[in-house]
Structure 1
């Protein structure tokens, strides 16, 4: 079973909204964390070396941006996990 997709984003972030909308359309479960409201989450994103949002994490794999190439292969497993 795959881990849950975690999306780190912020309000008024077009790319964050695109990733969330894609997950909703495809029925991919995710957990959204607003880094403007969670200092620990922001620190984690920065510690991974990212300066742009969204940042997605699936298990130990992480990426910045709308990386459908990272999500698509795992989508069936993520959907079954819900």
Structure 2
């Protein structure tokens, strides 16, 4: 299965947990990367000017924080792609 959504998180991050939960409930396939386990990704996140977690990277862009509006948009995109 291909994951076009990657969520960069860290333990204890409330917004990270909410984002992962919302993506799972919306059935949006996603890969979770714990930045504590993979500190090498921090430079990449800084290049995106992403200074807060979670960072959600999609095929069309990225955002930081818990963003239900962005998750809904992903749900619509995933649904439309699945019906093709």
TM-score using structure 1 length: 0.82
Distance 1:70 1:76 in 2: 10
Distance 1:45 1:60 in 2: 16
Higher relative contact order (CA 8 A, sep 6+): 1
Contact map agreement 1:6 1:33 (CA 8 A) in 2: yes
Gaps of at least 5 residues in structure 2 are none
Does 2:64 align with 1:77? no
Number of residue pairs matched by the alignment: 79
Q: After TM superposition, which residue ranges in structure 1, 4 or more long, deviate above 4 angstroms?
A: none
Structure having the higher Rg: 2
Does 2:59 align with 1:55? no
Contact map agreement 2:54 2:65 (CA 8 A) in 1: yes
Shift of 1:78: 2.8
